Homo-oligomer: A and B are copies of this chain.
Amino acid sequence: MSEVLRSAVNRSTTLEDVARVAGVSRATVSRVINGIRNVDPAIQESVRLAIASTGYVPNGAARSLVTRRAGSLALVVSGSGAVADGPAGGEVFTDPFFGRVVSGVFTALRPQGLHPVLMLADAPEAREQALAYLRQGNADGAMVVSTHADDPMPALLLEAGVPAVLFGRPDRPLPISCVDLANRDGGRLAADHLHARGCRRVVTIAGPSGVRAARDRLAGFHDAMARHGLPYLPHAEADFTQAGGERAITRLLIEHPDTDGVFAANDLMAQGALAVLRDHGRRVPEDVAVVGFDDSSAATAGRPLLTTVRQPVEEMAAEMTRILLDHIARPERGATSVIFEPSLVVRQSA
């Protein structure tokens, strides 16, 4: 097939075509496109013209084949596959937490012109799929949000040599970078506040025991309460969802009708507590004070406004992204960690 025919058929325009039109070599066109200096301004101009007239767009695959850069980062929502822990498959994305992470990632990615590719690794099969994708170099690195502490994903990524950063420290220390919140401190803030308010019959709604952040929040809360002279507090475990929170508080109220304070390990469960308390005719905060965790949109969605421990998710996600970008640019550097401090946001519920 002649050159003319070939280009007439279907083939999209290539560097070669542009070079021919501009009367220069492929290399020169490439240089112009990639903004490399040492190009005669006049030629530069004629190349730009040729690009415009041909409607040329570089081919991403060919480019990343030679540069060994995919131009995208993976955002992996990872779990153990155990259905009992945390929100199930579809619900993960409905959690305000997820939206905040995405938001923070975009903040850091936008200046670089990169885009996140979303991967859900909540079952062995899905995990293998995600891992294969990453190993093939379809993304330059991975940001991992684990919904479960014994998530095998971090170790697998490490082993595969994929640059990665975690949101939340793993259960067992790994030489992987991560961002996290001082969750124990957060629990302490909530305890001090409820105690100062005069609450003495406090119950807690814990997150999944398989989630480290959930355990740490509860531990910090219990520690502080013990220091205030309250060594034992009833608690129920839930799954970080509102419905789970509703079930937990219902159980707790039956067993401990005289409850005057509630600490929930996230806002969604606190929201559930508020709803049930209202159904039971308990006034918040007069009869029962409630403190949540996260300061997500759920905290201000209803009435009373929720007093909560703030976790700066967006900032944390942005930092996670920056760390990953840095690791990709300078692979020789070792793992780092950035721990954020929580703060108490006092509103109406406590």
**Chain B residues near A135 (CB, 8 Å)?**
57
Other-chain contact of A138, B60, B89, B297 (Cβ < 8 Å): B60
Q: Which of chain B's residues have a CB closer than 8 A to the CB of A137?
A: 59-61
Choose, from A103-111, A229-237, A334-342, the stretch at the interface.
A103-111
Which residues on the B side are within 8 Å of A136 (C-beta)? Answer: 57-60, 63
Task: Given A99-B93, A115-B119, verify A57-B132 contact (CB < 8 Å).
Answer: yes
Q: Closest Cβ of chain B: how far from A124's Cβ, in Å? A: 13
Number of copies: 2
Q: Report the bound CA distance from A20 to B133 in whole Å.
A: 25
Contacting residues of chain A (48-62) with chain B, CB-CB under 8 angstroms:
57-62
B-contacting 9-mer, from A168-176, A247-255, A298-306? A298-306
**Interface flags, A123-139, vs B, CB<8A=1, else 0:** 00010011011011110
- CB neighbours (8 Å) of A70 from chain B are 60-61
A156 within 8 A of B: no
8 smallest A-B Cβ distances: which pairs? A302-B302, A60-B136, A93-B99, A94-B99, A61-B65, A117-B117, A60-B138, A90-B103
Chain A positions near chain B (C-beta within 8 angstroms): 57-65, 68, 70-72, 74-75, 89-96, 98-100, 102-103, 106-107, 110, 113, 115-120, 126, 129-130, 132-133, 135-138, 242, 271, 274-275, 278-279, 297-298, 300-303, 314
